[in-house]
A and B are shown apart, each in its own frame.
Chain A
């Protein structure tokens, strides 16, 4: 599920096709985030910069600046629908759960149907018209990989939440806002970055796989 475009497989100018480099980047990023969480635990704010604001800043950095950036090294997890392009290909019945349909003008209908002069009629959409063939979009295999990574992350998160709850219950810890903020930061970061980290950790180097797996030039390079 790695990006297939040459410009997206690089992070800070470094070619990240190598699995070793990706693993080092994951370890370094998580160490930085653990350090940040530890700092939040000890720190009580400084003027306008409160621990909650710092939490959002660190989350922003983890989400948009690190190797876990959406649409960066790993393809975006979201399957975006095509933008509105007029009624020719407008998927008007999708919201009514009627499958994939489009309006076809009379002149484009088969001759037998044209004679009845029905006007524009709804017709099942052509597969190629519906399918987003952009190399940025995940296909069915990649969606499966994404779901598997998300499931594993949720299990891991549930496990550490349970461990922390048991630990807090046994030790009778009292409410300590900086500590709670640090915990929330950890959980949010794991929830957001865990699936991508799993994919980046396990995905082999595309160059190690024999066959035609060369990168595709991005639309901007054409």
Chain B
């Protein structure tokens, strides 16, 4: 089963390289690339480490369903609040 993730977006927002993220979560940089391309499903331990690193709940980083663009979700939320 493919697990979708938002790692590239979160990494870009924080201006982090793959090497920096890999060092923080204790894997090799190639593994971050595999995760971002959807070629590898992380273990529960790695998924928790990545979520904790970004200080976000697991479901904000990983999902079994494709994510909607963050900008769409944010715009919708702002429209509801207004």
Q: Do A and B come from one complex?
A: yes
Binding site for B on A (CB under 8 A): 4, 127-128, 131, 133, 135, 138-142, 206, 209, 211-213, 216
| Interchain CB contact under 8 A, B49 and A213 | no
Q: Please tell me if the beta carbons of A213 and B28 are within 8 angstroms of each other in the complex.
A: no
Bound Cα distance A128, B29 (Å) = 16
Contact of B46 among A140, A142, A209, A212 (CB under 8 A): A140
Number of A-B residue pairs with CB-CB distance less than 8 Å in the complex they form: 46
Nearest CB of chain B from residue A95's CB, rounded to whole Å: 22
CA distance A141 to B37 in the complex (A): 14
Docked-complex contact A141 and B29, CB < 8 angstroms:
no
The listed residue (A127, A135, A212) touching B28 by CB distance below 8 A is A135
Query: Can you name 6 A-B residue pairings with CB atoms under 8 Å?
Result: A133-B23, A133-B26, A139-B28, A140-B27, A140-B43, A211-B18
How far is A23 from B52 in the complex, measured between Cα atoms in Å? 41
Q: Does B40 contact A (CB under 8 A)?
A: yes
Q: Which 4 A-B pairs have the closest CB atoms?
A: A131-B26, A139-B27, A141-B31, A212-B18
Question: Which has the most chain A C-beta neighbours within 10 Å: B18, B29, B37, B49?
Answer: B29
Which of A128, A135, A141, A211 lies at the interface centre, i.e. has the most chain B CB atoms within 10 A of its CB? A141
What does the 1/0 interface line of B30-59 toward A look like (CB < 8 Å)?
A: 110110110010110110010000000000
C-alpha spacing A209/B33, complex, angstroms = 9
Give the residues in chain B near A140, CB-CB below 8 Å. 27, 31, 42-43, 45-46
How far apart are A3's CB and chain B's nearest CB, in angstroms? 11
Quick one: closest A residue to B46, CB to CB? A140
How far does the alpha carbon of A170 sit from the alpha carbon of B37 in the complex, in Å? 51
- Residues of chain A within 8 A (CB-CB) of B34 are 141
Q: Contact at B26–A127, with CB atoms within 8 Å? A: yes
**Nearest A-chain residue to B52, judged by Cβ:** A127
Say how far B64's CB is from chain A's closest CB, in angstroms: 19
Q: Nearest-CB distance from B29 to chain A (Å)?
A: 7
Query: How far, in whole Å, are A91 and B28 apart by their CA atoms in the complex?
Result: 23
Q: Does the CB pair B27–A141 fall under 8 Å?
A: yes
